Amino acid sequence: MTSGRDQTGIRIGMWLFLYTEIILFGGLFVLYAAYFHEYPKAFAEYGKELNRVIGAANTVLLLASSFTVAASITALRQHSKRLCLGFLAISLGCGAIFLVNKYFEWGHKFAIGLYPNSKALAGAPPGKNIFFGLYYVITGLHGLHVIIGMTLLAISLVMVHNNRITAQRYALLENSGLYWHLVDLIWIFVFPLFYLIL
């Protein structure tokens, strides 16, 4: 019973919103690139201060959760509701561990005095100040998107459980999934730009 609902239209609406997100983060990446051009040595030096192991772990977590979100839609449409709920729960778990890692990472930076307007940064050379400024703005905004994405996935999970999202009517799950994949996309660029630059 899909008549009367424009499934393609619903997805187009979500994509239009995703375009604005792409441009938003695109603008921040341009800012990063312009300052990388200005202070290549400083960026390479301070990039090494970030923890590659946590960064890599978070990359794997987000990639895996993107897979489980995509798989949850396949499961739902093949009428295996329990599998779908399981996949969504795993995705939420991955998102939560990502945020916990982020908490420890930021916490460590704060402990050694690297935070916006700290004494160590205020008097630092411009390259250092800008690198950590961009680091906090971009990973912070990305973290906010992780929280929003997890909220959408949690709502979808409850609605699947209550049979309000079904194999015939799953637009909300689909669009929450698209949002979650976008969060993953952004991280795919954030990780090499901040953690892996030489």
Q: How far is the CB of 26 from another protein (least distance, A)?
A: 5
Q: How far is the CB of 39 from another protein (least distance, A)?
A: 12
- Residues of this chain, 89-148, that bind another protein according to CB under 8 A: none
Helices (H), the chain: 7-38, 40-47, 52-77, 81-111, 119-122, 126-161, 171-190
17 contacts another protein (rule: CB under 8 A): no
Binding mask 32-71 for another protein (x = CB under 8 A): -xx--xx-------------x---x--xx--xx-xx-xxx
Compute the residue count for the chain: 198
- Spatial separation of the C-alpha atoms in residues 127 and 153, rounded to whole Å: 38
Nearer to another protein, 71 or 121 (CB): 71
Q: How far is the CB of 107 from another protein (least distance, A)?
A: 24
- Spatial separation of the C-alpha atoms in residues 40 and 24, rounded to whole Å: 24
Which of 72, 79, 74 lies closest to 153 in space, CA to CA?
A: 72
Nearer to another protein, 24 or 120 (CB): 24
Output the CA angle 45-34-53, nearest 5 degrees.
40
Q: What is the number of alpha carbons within 13 Å of residue 2 lying toward its C-beta? A: 11
Tell me if residue 6 falls in helix, strand or coil.
coil
- Spatial separation of the C-alpha atoms in residues 157 and 87, rounded to whole Å: 10
Number of residues this chain uses to bind another protein (CB under 8 A): 50
- Residues of this chain, 138-197, that bind another protein according to CB under 8 A: 174, 177-178, 181-182, 184-185, 188-189, 191-192, 195-197
Q: Which residues bind another protein (CB under 8 A)?
A: 2, 6-9, 11-12, 15-16, 19, 22-23, 26-27, 29-30, 33-34, 37-38, 52, 56, 59-60, 63-64, 66-67, 69-71, 73-74, 77-78, 174, 177-178, 181-182, 184-185, 188-189, 191-192, 195-198
